[in-house]
Amino acid sequence: MTTWSDRLTLAAMGPAAAAAGLAAGHLLAAATTPSASPVLAVGSTVIDRTPTPVKEWAVAHFGTNDKTILVGSVLAVVLLVATAVGFVARRSLVLGAGILVLLSAVAAVCAVLRPAADAGDALPSVLTGVVAAGVLLTLFALWPAALWSADRAPDEGTAGNASRRGVLVGLGVTVLAAAAVGGLGRRLTSLRGRPENVTLPAPAEPAGAFPAGLDRTVPGITPWRTPTGGFYRVDTRLDVPVLSSADWSLRVDGDVRHPFTLTFDELLAMPMIERDITLTCVSNSVGGPYAGGARWLGVRLTDLLDRAGVGAKADQMLSTDFAGMTISTPLALATDGRDAMLAVGMNGAPLPREHGFPARLVIPGLYGFISATKWVSRLTLTTYADHSAYWTDRHWATDAPIKISSRIDTPRPLAQLDVGEVVVGGVAWAQGGGGVDRVEVSIDGGAWQQAQLGPSAGEVYWRQWFHRWDAKPGSHTVSCRVVDGDGRTQAPVRANPFPDGASGLHTINVTVGS
Ligand SMILES: Nc1nc2c(c(=O)[nH]1)N[C@H]1C(S)=C(S)[C@@H](COP(=O)(O)O)O[C@H]1N2
Ligand SMILES: [Mo]
């Protein structure tokens, strides 16, 4: 007869075996190609295959947690299937082990089908399958004969010395070993991902002094310069790519007269410009967090393109990252005189790995998905007719200047405030239209009142603003809007991020009371 504790033991068999396999695969991946870790390979495939509306929904509801939730979901599915494995294995050991092997095979296929992957990327998943199946067989070898389902004859050899305690010890050892091996994989990943020591040259064209913003005077406002560690991160990767500057190179090719390849040292030897630029993600909703201001150091894009000699046909600059992910930029916009650059430095230090080390594109005024390629390794001059990039294939716009926008940072939505003076403050950007000219605030839909602006660091950098409001008791709405240097006012028309950026006004509700 099967007791409850036997059922629990059975339910734990599959997950323990799967955990051991995943830990082994993760460790092997950490030592070779981190992104080939089975769960990451499946997760990345899900990211690339998810229809755009579903992805937008996930970004809107989970924000930057969307990746944690994705990895968690993949693990949850594995856990669910693996839980069934123990019960299946009780009737047919081959079938139980087969399910684990099948799961790993799915991961292996995902891993080799990643762009720029090779057959070796299947190895972590293969190891996962072998270890998981092996552990399952071992655990069942310890399984007391009396507990096999009635229609399955116990194996003569193991029936004699097996005991319930043996299985439990086996399970415990498996779980501990999986935790240890998995921990080792994590440790290895973080060791390999340590920042590399590179010395950046001084800029030929420095950005000049950066005045103090309103950070201290307006509590709760977005820092005028985003601390590098707090800069938003948006990309399709589940890992942090670890590239070495010595192995990096940039290929400039396509419709050019002189295609060439540049090493990192050659890049650093070119004249550098330094610019304060605000980066914005097309997926940012009005009032959302995917915008950040930094001081970038890099080589002018046009210096690179001039060296290659761009042909007459090209209308698109297709940039490719080290893993084959592509981003398209309208060539005319990238070369219209704006400070587009191949950046190597961010806020006075080399680019962090999360933000594209060793080199990335930064192009002011265009949303990141058509301009800001991280870990970039190739610039191909081509046409939209000949090549389509990652997000173009997912029906996002190809021409997407950053829409002018403003955001209320303080007070927070739904805040309970005291009667009297309330300082409303936030940031505004208008990279396309001559910079921020003014910001206006409306209380309860009333007249637009001009806010005070913080200092300016140029047209393509955001500006802080604040407005003193004499708050009366009751519930209120507070809205803001920006007016750019060309006289255009932020439109109240609401639009979702897809396909070319959100619009509308940021409006919050607050309660003022005694
Ligand atoms: N290689 C690569 N570069 C990329 C992306 C990506 O998915 N892969 N995402 C882009 C998007 S959508 C944005 S908004 C910016 C974000 O840059 P950040 O993560 O440094 O803030 O990077 C861009 N560069
Ligand atoms: Mo983005």
Instruction: Give me the DSSP letters along 13-76.
Output: HHHHHHHHHHHHHHHHHHHS-GGGSHHHHHHHHHHHHS-HHHHHHHHHHHGGGHHHHHHHHHHH
Q: Which pLDDT value is given to residue 159?
A: 44
Confidence of residue 508 (pLDDT cuts 50, 70, 90): very high
Q: Is 395 helix (H, G, I), strand (E, B) or coil?
A: coil
Confidence of residue 66 (pLDDT cuts 50, 70, 90): confident
- CATH number of the domain at 371, please: 3.90.420.10
Where on the phi/psi map is residue 79: left (φ > 0), alpha (ψ -120 to 50), or beta?
alpha
The answer as to whether 215 is a domain residue is no
411-420 pLDDT, tens digit each: 999 999 999 9
Residue 391 near ligand 1, beta carbon < 6 Å:
no
378-423 pLDDT, tens digit each: 999 999 999 999 999 999 999 999 999 999 999 999 999 999 999 9
Q: Ligand 2 centre and the CA of 233: distance in Å? A: 9
As a whole number, mean pLDDT of residues 85-108 equals 95
The answer as to whether 398 is a domain residue is no
Ligand 1 nearest-atom number relative to CA 279: 21
Q: Which pLDDT value is given to residue 149?
A: 55
Residues 6 or more apart from 29 whose CB is under 8 A from it? 35, 36, 37, 38, 40, 124, 185
Same domain? For 384 and 430 the reply is no
Domain count, the chain: 3
Same domain? For 57 and 143 the reply is yes
Same domain? For 412 and 386 the reply is no
Q: Ligand 1 centre and the CA of 237: distance in Å? A: 9
CB 194 within 8 A of CB 182: no
Q: Ligand 1 centre and the CA of 205: distance in Å? A: 26
Same domain? For 89 and 237 the reply is no
CB 248 within 8 A of CB 358: yes
Of 233, 374, 379, the residue with max ligand 1 atoms within 8 A of its CB, to mutate for a pocket test, comes to 374
Decide which of 345, 366, 393 is a domain's last residue.
Answer: 393
pLDDT at residue 467 tops 70: yes
Q: How far apart, in whole angstroms, are the C-alpha atoms of residue 368 and residue 162?
A: 60
303 burial (CB, 10 Å; 0-12 / 13-18 / 19+) is middle
Q: How far apart, in whole angstroms, are the C-alpha atoms of residue 131 and residue 279?
A: 45
Q: Ligand 2 centre and the CA of 261: distance in Å? A: 27
Residue with tokens 């295609």: 259
43-53 pLDDT, tens digit each: 999 999 999 89
Where on the phi/psi map is residue 309: left (φ > 0), alpha (ψ -120 to 50), or beta?
left
Residues 6 or more apart from 121 whose CB is under 8 A from it? 33, 35, 36, 41, 111, 112, 114
Residue 231 near ligand 1, beta carbon < 6 Å:
yes
Same domain? For 375 and 277 the reply is yes
Within 13 Å of residue 438, how many CA atoms lie on the same side as its CB?
10
Decide which of 367, 393, 419 is a domain's last residue.
Answer: 393
Alpha helices by DSSP H, listed for 283-354, are: 301-308, 331-334
185-224 pLDDT, tens digit each: 999 999 999 999 999 999 999 999 999 999 999 999 999 9
Q: Which pLDDT value is given to residue 146?
A: 55
260-301 pLDDT, tens digit each: 999 999 999 999 999 999 999 999 999 999 999 999 999 999
Residue nearest to atom 8 of ligand 1 (CA): 235
Strands 249-254 and 376-382: parallel
pLDDT at residue 502 tops 60: yes
The answer as to whether 208 is a domain residue is no
Same domain? For 354 and 260 the reply is yes
The answer as to whether 28 is a domain residue is yes
Same domain? For 253 and 381 the reply is yes
Percent of the chain with pLDDT over 90: 88
138 burial (CB, 10 Å; 0-12 / 13-18 / 19+) is middle
Residue 170 near ligand 1, beta carbon < 6 Å:
no
Size of the chain, expressed as the number of residues it contains:
514
Q: Which pLDDT value is given to residue 347?
A: 98
Same domain? For 261 and 381 the reply is yes
Confidence of residue 167 (pLDDT cuts 50, 70, 90): confident
For the whole model, what pTM was predicted? 0.94
The answer as to whether 233 is a domain residue is yes
Confidence of residue 362 (pLDDT cuts 50, 70, 90): very high
Same domain? For 285 and 426 the reply is no
What is the chain's mean pLDDT, rounded? 94
485-497 pLDDT, tens digit each: 999 999 999 999 9
Confidence of residue 148 (pLDDT cuts 50, 70, 90): low
- CATH number of the domain at 434, please: 2.60.40.650
Same domain? For 411 and 388 the reply is no
Decide which of 192, 213, 243 is a domain's last residue.
Answer: 192
CA quadruple 385, 389, 393, 395: dihedral, nearest 10: -90
Q: Which pLDDT value is given to residue 158?
A: 45
Residue 321 near ligand 1, beta carbon < 6 Å:
yes
- Domain span including residue 355: 228-393
Q: Which pLDDT value is given to residue 215?
A: 97
